[in-house]
Amino acid sequence: MSIPNILMVRIDNRLIHGQVGITWTNSLGANLVIVANDEAANNPVQQSLMDMVVSDGVQTRYFTLQKTIDVIHQAAERQKIFIVCKTPQDVLTLVRGGVPIRVVNVGNMHFSEGKRQVHKTVSVDENDTKAFRALEKFGISCEVRRVPDEAGENIANLLN
């Protein structure tokens, strides 16, 4: 069983959009974007919309969280993988399921009822905060960065 070449995991409640599909994939040199999201995995319309904003030559897969856990270790060495999730809880599910994640990029977590804004593009509630703290305990660095050339800010500093 080989260790999959996961370049980065991004939390973005919009999943794939232009910034993710083009800017991030290019700067990472990814050739495979895995959207690990139960809803998107079962929504072909959403998938085809997301496929339209991914760079040419980059493959996409839409997996449930469980399927991601089940198949990630079968990835080929040539696959340079960029995983996109919707929430920190989803990332934590992957980590607990044995997906070898080292770096989490926190992109967009929209404000909604019961959340507090901790950064321009990031709002969290109690559950989000717990999930980030749990990821930290796993030794995973979680930083807020909207675009690759922006300096990252550790989420732990923003949560206090």
Asked if 63 and 36 count as a contact pair (C-beta separation under 8 A), the reply is: yes
Q: How far is 108 from 120, CA to CA, in rounded Å?
A: 9
* Annotated catalytic residue within 17, 73, 110, 119: 17
Exposed (0-12), middle (13-18) or buried (19+): which is 141, by Cβ within 10 Å?
middle
Verify whether residue 17 is a known catalytic residue.
yes
User: Sign (positive/negative) of CA torsion 58, 24, 101, 98?
Assistant: negative
Q: How far is 66 from 92, CA to CA, in rounded Å?
A: 12
- Residues known to be catalytic: 17
